[in-house]
Structure 1
Amino acid sequence: MNLSVEQVLGLAPDSNAASAGRKLGVASSWKGLARSERALWGECQGSALYRVCVDPDTMASKCTCPSRKFPCKHALGLMLLAAGSLGAFSTGTEPPAWVLEWVERRTASAERKKEKEAEPAKTPDPAEQAKRAERRRQRVVKGIEGLDLWMSDLIRQGLAQVEDRPAAFWEGQAARLVDAQAPGLASRVRRLGRYVGNHVSDWPVKLLGEMGRIALLTHAFRRIEELPAPLQADVRQLIGWSLSHEEILTSGEAVQDAWLLAGQSLFDEERFRVQRNWLVGTHTGRVALFLQFAAGTAPFAENMMPGTVFDAELVYRPSAFPQRALIRANPAKERAPRAWSERLPGFDRIESFRIWYAEALALLPWLERTFAGLRGVTPVRTAVGACIVRDAEGGALPLVRNDAWTLFALSGGESIDLAAEWNGEALTPIAVMHKGEYHVIPAPADDEEDA
């Protein structure tokens, strides 16, 4: 295990869990500390004696505590102790039954997954596929006709009249689009309702802008046969068609590289937690977005550690601006992460990033967010209280939050390499590289305290 304390802390679900994990990252909090090639383990006294084990290659963990966070503070504490004091773990000890059971269960699961991937795919009936596709197309067209009429009525009556509309007004139109098998458009209509009544002074501007993007999408769908193939794939995906993993792996562009996990963010989407992992090829410079989804409190399938590099082949989803990608299955030993201590890849001038982003928008007008790697920028608080980052030539971009004290503390008034998400209006910092050290910008903490 060659990860730093900061990189382990990058796995924390929030700053509360990170703080609690730090407190447990000392040998005095543990009993029976030991390690083997397959696992680290120990017992931690909390409200009960909790058994904790960790896979040192993937950082997958298991704890008997009832916490709904993953990884919990006990697993974080064990990983932090291993990162700082690996000598505290005895070697040559036979793993206890509960550790062996966990390791064997993970091995069996990996074998089943490998066997399933090796199974030949069933060949569908092309004629039946064509019939289903035409039936869906017709339903989507009817749904789009209804949506266009609904939006035209909103514009004709004036946007001021929607301010007092209940949530059911927006949800009703979204439900009609779901029935028309256009779930992507349904999500965009729900978003329209969130712009209204949120005490945002410029909500009419945001609402009108999003309605314009929806109208552009519906008009593009009507002329989809005239569009280039990559843009056709984007329009279909934005309307609500999805590609299976197998289809992406078959038709997408494959890129082999040593991929740096430059930044990571988490957010909730209805019943799911979504993890955005921003990867940058250390040789190709390509940026990739790897998404993970987990229901409820379930762990994500992959333990992705910010500030580490792993060798893998990524396959990009077909797109006019390829960004989202899948990681092609590789043996675990080839995926073992390595700590990154060099400068973050990115732009040395903010103006260069602006030009790059404008070109990306020209290719994909519905681009909602992308990765911004900015090198040598300094966080600054302006005279009116706004927080920005500025480069050596005076180019600047705003930050989403005006209480970015963690960013100011990490920079100490000096220039930093910043990893951030850019939504077209402002930056959300997710990581910093300063003087050869990688630091995660933690997500806002919640009020939950685990056991």
Structure 2
Amino acid sequence: MNIHVTVDQVAKMAPDVSVANAGRKLSLPKNWKTVGQNAQALWGECQGSALYQVRIELSTLTTQCSCPSRKIPCKHSLGLLYLCANTPTAIATGEPPDWVISWLNKRSAIQQQKATLATQGPTKKPAASSTQKSTAKRQEKILQGIAQLDLWLEDLIRNGLGSLDTHSTTIWHQQAAKMVDAQALGLAQALRTMSAIPHASPDWTEKLLGKLGKLALLSESYHHLERFAPPLQEDIKLLVGWTLKEAEVHERGEHVSDDWFMLGQQTSEVERNRVQSTWLYGKETGRSAQILQFAYASAPFAENFPLGMQQRAEIVYWPGNDPQRALFVRRPDMPQAIQGSFGAETLDAFFAQVATQLAKQPWRETFLCLLQSAIPIYDSNQNRWYLSDQVGQAVPLVETANEHWKLLALSGGHPLDFAGEWNGEALLPLGVLVDHTTYHLL
């Protein structure tokens, strides 16, 4: 049984370009002493300055190599995956050696332990009185911080947005630092994001006023949490800065099993942390989900999600009124190539979905946009890119340094199934499906 992995998917897993290039050089059969696979794993021994043993769990594409490299996946792991993508017939099916079996058994035991901890919680819990005191103390700090924020917002509006300095972002970061001190990290991040809006576009005042309005709405809502249903209370608390441990998400969140399409992924940097966002779409439920992973500096992300694949799995959503963020609970099956099309037939249908989501959770900033039979268009008069649906309605694509020539080349002027991220103003292309083959664009 050969695994279905493409060169593009392997390249996306590389921690940097140099490791990807080194992995490609190791993708020839002559570099491998032994290779093999079964339903659970792919393995091989690569001859370098020493004989390095590579193990890859197929359901999650988790890798381990005996080499001393701190970069994960290392060049040997990528080399084996490139070999599988380029020359699948070179990897025979067979029984794994002991060094693979012992690794798989260890991983299985750890995953079982994590599953038990997630459903049952830790064996030792802090005393209820201690937890209540800590929660009450933090709640007091947050309320004091929000009171300061309310006064600052009132002063900002009273003085007028036109009074904002053209180049300075100091006031935003100063206010964000106060929210960090108040343990309202969600509000701090919102303020940092707003710092890039003033004087950045002709209609910046309108954009900023909308963001400030949502921030004021969040502040007012937090002051009166008791007015809202419990699911919306969860959203408000999360946006302000309260967080949940994974065990709490497992216990309180909604569990959904489906064939999940892994359609797009992007990585951004927040200070020295890297944030990876992966968009999923449920084939049976028609629901979207966003998986967020965090890594410090150059550290690898904990899990790999092969783009352009579908996988039978169980996820759990964070508690909320219309949950979007989720995490994987179990991925027992191997990823397979996406089968079938996806998405709304028109942009009007997509925007109806957006309106429904905003009615349930008005602070949502990004949405997974799936559109059937879409065509990318370049308007040379405006020097602007658009995406058109099958009835001729179009929306702008985000302006990027690389523009969107790859998207146009994949389309060739013909319709394709499109996956992107809508931010309320423009679409960021993530991937497309062309002739039953998926391509990622980031």
TM-score (norm 1): 0.85
Aligned residue for 2:386? 388
Shift of 1:399: 0.7
Query: Which of 119, 133, 146 pairs up with 2:135?
Result: 133
Shift of 1:440: 1.3
Please tell me whether residue 194 in structure 1 is matched to residue 196 in structure 2.
yes
Distance 2:343 2:96 in 1: 46
Aligned residue for 1:446? none
Distance 1:352 1:6 in 2: 34
Aligned residue for 2:237? 236
Aligned residue for 1:375? 372
**CA deviation string 1:385-405 (max 9, x = no partner):** 211111121111211136101
Distance 1:267 1:372 in 2: 19
Segments of 5+ residues of structure 2 without an aligned counterpart are none
Distance 1:168 1:31 in 2: 55
Distance 2:367 2:47 in 1: 41
C-alpha contact 1:10 1:440 (8 A) present in aligned 2: no
Task: Identify which range, 414-423 or 177-186, moves more after superposition.
Answer: 177-186
Please tell me whether residue 260 in structure 1 is matched to residue 261 in structure 2.
yes
Aligned residue for 2:91? 89
SS at match of 2:179: helix
Task: Identify which range, 252-261 or 119-128, moves more after superposition.
Answer: 119-128
Query: Which of 31, 39, 44 pairs up with 2:42?
Result: 39
SS at match of 2:196: helix
SS at match of 1:322: coil
* Match runs of 1:145-184 below 5 Å: 145-163=147-165, 166-184=168-186
Q: Which amino acid aligns with 1:375?
A: Q
C-alpha contact 1:44 1:52 (8 A) present in aligned 2: no
Distance 1:111 1:392 in 2: 48
Please tell me whether residue 143 in structure 1 is matched to residue 128 in structure 2.
no
C-alpha contact 1:53 1:63 (8 A) present in aligned 2: yes
Distance 1:124 1:19 in 2: 46
Shift of 1:247: 2.0
Task: Identify which range, 371-380 or 248-257, moves more after superposition.
Answer: 248-257
Distance 2:14 2:422 in 1: 21
Segments of 5+ residues of structure 1 without an aligned counterpart are 444-451
Aligned residue for 2:207? 206
Q: Which has the higher contact order (CA 8 A, sep 6+)?
A: 1
Please tell me whether residue 288 in structure 1 is matched to residue 286 in structure 2.
no
TM-score (norm 2): 0.87
Distance 1:15 1:130 in 2: 45
Distance 1:189 1:411 in 2: 39
Equivalent pairs: percent with the same residue? 36
Aligned residue for 1:413? 413
Shift of 1:204: 3.0
Cα RMSD after superposing both structures: 3.1
Aligned residue for 1:434? 434
C-alpha contact 2:29 2:83 (8 A) present in aligned 1: no
C-alpha contact 2:255 2:317 (8 A) present in aligned 1: yes
- Change over 3 Å in CA distance of 1:410–1:21 after alignment to 2: farther
Shift of 1:415: 0.3
C-alpha contact 1:52 1:62 (8 A) present in aligned 2: yes
Aligned residue for 1:447? none
Distance 1:163 1:68 in 2: 44
Shift of 1:83: 2.5
Please tell me whether residue 346 in structure 1 is matched to residue 343 in structure 2.
yes
C-alpha contact 2:32 2:44 (8 A) present in aligned 1: no
SS at match of 2:32: strand
Q: Which amino acid aligns with 1:32?
A: K
Please tell me whether residue 324 in structure 1 is matched to residue 325 in structure 2.
yes
C-alpha contact 2:24 2:78 (8 A) present in aligned 1: no
Shift of 1:17: 6.3
**CA deviation string 1:82-112 (max 9, x = no partner):** 1232232366697596x67865764564465
Query: Which of 61, 70, 94 pairs up with 2:63?
Result: 61
Distance 1:229 1:112 in 2: 30
Shift of 1:123: 4.9
Q: Which amino acid aligns with 1:353?
A: F
Aligned residue for 1:335? 333
